[in-house]
Each structure stands twice: as structure tokens, then as C-alpha cells.
A and B are shown apart, each in its own frame.
Chain A
Amino acid sequence: DAMVIQNPRYQVTQFGKPVTLSCSQTLNHNVMYWYQQKSSQAPKLLFHYYDKDFNNEADTPDNFQSRRPNTSFCFLDIRSPGLGDAAMYLCATSRGTAKSYNEQFFGPGTRLTVL
């Protein structure tokens, strides 16, 4: 089945130790998104790629970076995780059409713990 896969599902890191979360998709979608979702809050868009074009949200901290080496894979790098970065990180994809109907398909998320 076509899907969005996130690894690992649970990630524990230490304060200040760089960590990378990965996302892959078999949907061949143009757009890949990264969201941060803290406990009992709405998902917050960090950035997205439209093909190779990177689009950063204005309030995304510099501590968060992303890479998309090919259509299928996208990575979220947190250079120096702080306690406030503990959250669920959701990856999503969409076809990237010009229409307002732009269903996003989500992965299962990676729950990040910072010690």
C-alpha cells in the first residue's frame, strides 16, 4: 500500500545532541511537510518542500533544518535540541496541485523526548 513512513516512531535524545528524524513516501507526491505537535496542541507547520524548493515558515527556529535528497525521502534535523523541542513530529505529503483541495497524507509521527 502507498503510504508515508516515519522512522523511528520514538526517539530519545539528550539536551544539545543533534538528532535526525526521517520520512519516506511511496505516493510520489511533490510536496512534503514537517509539522511539530506539542501535547494537546494543534500541529504547527515548520517547513515544506515543493519538489526541491524549500519553504520555511517565518517563525520556525533556526535550530530546525530539513533535507530532501530525492522525491521519496525528507529529513528533519534538530541541531541542538532543547527541552522545549520535545514533541510529536509529523511528516505529511500532498500532490501539490493549484487547487484548494490539497489533501495531506500523514505519517504515524515520531515522538521525540529530550532528556
Chain B
Amino acid sequence: AQKITQTQPGMFVQEKEAVTLDCTYDTSDQSYGLFWYKQPSSGEMIFLIYQGSYDEQNATEGRYSLNFQKARKSANLVISASQLGDSAMYFCAMSRRGAGSYQLTFGKGTKLSVIP
């Protein structure tokens, strides 16, 4: 069975500083994907970034980068130059093969608060 662990229930960061949100995972699959989603207080889940298990380079999307360390089974999200609008819940997720398609297993999330 797959498992995603996010050990930081809450994080604070000063505006314009960088912050790292931790994510570790456990799986016996050889091929898998790792995702980060942002969930503002409005409730919508917003896709941020993806890393495939066979991707050799760390994924980057604008201010978001994923620090992928396969041997340690970690996929930490780095947000550079934090903005007030980054305050939200952040979920790490892993794709798993289910009936008919891949499905997502989510971690418990980290609540990020950006301080002016």
C-alpha cells in the first residue's frame, strides 16, 4: 500500500523568503508520480507541480520547485519568494494504479501562513 507523510501540520514564512514543505512517501511501485496541490480557504484544489519517478531532473514551475530524492523517498516542495497569496493548505500526493486509471493518495497536508 502507498503512504504519503507530511510531518509539518503548519508552517510560517516571511513574505519574499523561500520555504520548504516536506513530503516523504512509501511505495513498492517502480513507476509512480508525485504531485503537489494547493488548497486555498475557498476549497478548490490547484495543481502546482508534478515529478515522475523516472525523471532525472527536479521539476520546476515558476516559483515552485520539487526537490526529489528518490533514494530517501522524499519529494519536498520549495516555494521561492513567498507571497501573501501563497497562504493555503498544501497537499503532497502520489499516483497509484487503480481500476482503470491512476488514482491519487494524499498526505494530510501542511498549512502555510505567509507573514507580511
Residues of A within 8 A of B (CB): 30-31, 33, 40-43, 45, 48, 50, 53, 55, 88, 90, 92, 94, 96-97, 99-109, 111
B44 contacts A102, CB within 8 Å?
no
Q: How far is the CA of A96 from the CA of B98 in the complex (A)?
A: 11
Q: A33-B103, A50-B99 are in contact. Are A104 and B44 (CB under 8 A)?
A: no
The answer to the question of B91 belonging to the interface, with a C-beta cut-off of 8 Å to chain A, is: yes
The answer to the question of B64 belonging to the interface, with a C-beta cut-off of 8 Å to chain A, is: no
Q: How far is the CA of A102 from the CA of B50 in the complex (A)?
A: 9
Q: How far is the CA of A102 from the CA of B31 in the complex (A)?
A: 12
Q: Chain B contact residues (Cβ within 8 angstroms of A): what range?
A: 20 to 34
Residues of B within 8 A of A (CB): 31-33, 35, 37, 42-47, 50, 52-53, 91, 95, 97-104, 106-109
B101 contacts A31, CB within 8 Å?
yes
B53 contacts A100, CB within 8 Å?
yes
Report B-chain residues with C-beta under 8 Å of the C-beta of A90.
43, 45
B44 contacts A45, CB within 8 Å?
no
Nearest A residue (CB) for B54: A100
Nearest B residue (CB) for A88: B43
* 28 A/B residue pairs, CB under 8 Å, sorted by A: A30-B101, A41-B109, A42-B106, A42-B108, A43-B45, A43-B91, A45-B103, A48-B98, A48-B100, A50-B100, A92-B45, A96-B100, A99-B102, A100-B52, A100-B53, A100-B95, A101-B50, A102-B33, A102-B95, A102-B101, A102-B102, A102-B103, A102-B104, A105-B47, A106-B44, A106-B45, A108-B43, A109-B43
